[in-house]
Chain A
Amino acid sequence: MNTLVKTTDLFAHTIYETKFVGYENIQTPLINYITSNFNSEFVNEYSGHDHPLRTGAVTKIYDKFNYSKEGKTIDDPNLKLVFDWITEHGKEYWKILNLSQHLNPYILQLWATAVKQGGFIASHNHNPIPVAGVFYLKAEPRLGNLFLENPLDLVLGKSPNHSDQHTPTRFNYEVEAISGKLVLFPGWMKHFTRPNPTDDLRMSMAVNFGCQGQVWFTEFS
């Protein structure tokens, strides 16, 4: 039928990806610094609470609250470099999401995870954190990619889908995990990783962005 037709994609969620140029030059010393603080045991526990990590190790790297309270600074130069770089990208992503420019976003927390064979990160989100992300310290797709979950999967799963159209029964978006890559996404978005099937360790650093400032909760401000 000869007629004007158009489709429009509504309400997409913007994620942000970038790569640290020259990461290979700092990768080994950065990992050495971070692993020097690692818990020697592969336990699924973080500061006394259950963590979505399965068969892996987790360690806190940075917490703004504690650092400010104790007057600490990041002393490792490579970590500082990556920290500042992630901060700048977080600020850009903040603007892209149209989050309030009255607020000053900053890294609230950084922690590292490592998974050995069979290990993975189970589905979770970072609520109430506005922006979350991951920086890959040592990763490649064969060690387990990142999967972001469609928040509408419950309703989409009730649609007349069938494998004849290769329609997924789970509505995920796969992001390749590569060393030196940063992925930022809304903190409410659930995500997980595939298990690491190899003998190689997969290491990543998770990030939570917080913010500070005053907002007037009216559109007429």
Chain B
Amino acid sequence: MIEFELGECKDIFPIKIYEAEYPNFENIKQQLIDNLKTHFNTLAPGNEYIDSSGNPLIYRTLPNLEKDSNFKDLLEFVEYHGRQYWKELNFTSRVEPYILHMWANKIPPGGFTPVHVHTPMPVASALYIHATNDMGTLEIENPIDTIQKLSPRDNNLAPYFQTHSVPVKDGKLVLFPGWIRHYTRSNMTKEDRIIASFNIGAKVEYLSKNN
């Protein structure tokens, strides 16, 4: 009879994401929505996703809201946490990360954000201004799902589609690597889902190891 004790499991190579909540967000929510209204008059090109009536499934502002002083407090909040996340990822401390772009998305009922990445941005993020899970959770895709799906998995034990679902709510900030594929589920409510997005980067000089 062999002596058999269970072995030890170790989880290696995880991908770290970061979540934070804006304190007392309800106090600034309506003002934020009002400030964004004018920006939705100038939509970014490339909103090609439309419904059967020709109406957009996503409205996206130009990616220059970081220049609008009305968002100063919000930008400071996101930048602070962007720097914390930068440290968590062990990125270089020789530079100060900062917000490169801010823009907003308005997702009408039935709309969604299709799968995309923010490459080559090192860090991407979303801050939920008016959002509930029914309006569409954030879905982050396993970057090696192709090879995982080639394993003889039991689909009753593990999800077939390898995504991590991040619950959303007003005032929640989520930071993640810019290269990771993500999308949102459809907005199943009768209200618009509104979020702000940020790209965080830094001026980095690419030098050889000897330098």
Contact = CB atoms under 8 A, between A and B. Distances in A.
Q: Do the two shown chains form a genuine complex with each other?
A: yes
Interface of A: 1-18, 21-22, 81, 84-85, 88-89, 92-93, 96-103, 128, 130, 148, 150-152, 155, 158-167, 169, 171, 173, 182, 184, 186, 188, 211, 215, 218-219, 221
B114 interface: no
A11 B84 contact: no
18 contacts: A3-B21, A5-B19, A5-B81, A6-B19, A10-B14, A11-B15, A11-B143, A15-B12, A17-B7, A89-B7, A93-B7, A98-B153, A98-B154, A102-B154, A128-B150, A155-B179, A160-B202, A182-B7
B27 interface: no
Given A99-B154, A218-B155, 19 more contacts: A1-B80, A8-B164, A10-B164, A14-B12, A16-B10, A18-B6, A84-B2, A85-B2, A92-B6, A152-B13, A152-B15, A158-B120, A158-B179, A160-B91, A161-B92, A171-B13, A186-B151, A219-B155, A221-B156
Interface of B: 2-23, 77, 80-81, 84-85, 88-95, 120, 122, 140, 142-144, 147, 150-158, 160, 162, 164, 177, 179, 202, 204, 209
Nearest to B77: A1
Contact of B157 (A1, A7, A101): A101
A99 B21 CA distance: 37
Contacts of B94: 162, 164
A99 B153 contact: yes
Contacts of B95: 160
Contacts of A152: 13, 15, 143-144
B19 A81 contact: no
Contacts of A219: 155-156, 160
A221 B160 CA distance: 12
B84 A3 contact: no
A7 B88 contact: yes
A215 B2 contact: no
B183 to A, nearest CB: 15
A3 B23 CA distance: 6
Contacts, number: 169
A23 to B, nearest CB: 11
Given A1-B80, A92-B7, A219-B160, A100 B153 contact: yes
B203 to A, nearest CB: 10
B160 A165 contact: no
A98 B209 CA distance: 41
Contacts of A188: 147, 150-151
Nearest to A85: B2
B15 A9 contact: yes
B22 A3 contact: yes
A55 B8 CA distance: 32
A84 B3 CA distance: 10
B201 to A, nearest CB: 8
Nearest to B161: A219
Given A21-B3, A150-B13, A160-B95, A130 B151 contact: yes
A158 B14 CA distance: 17
B92 A164 contact: yes
Nearest to B203: A160
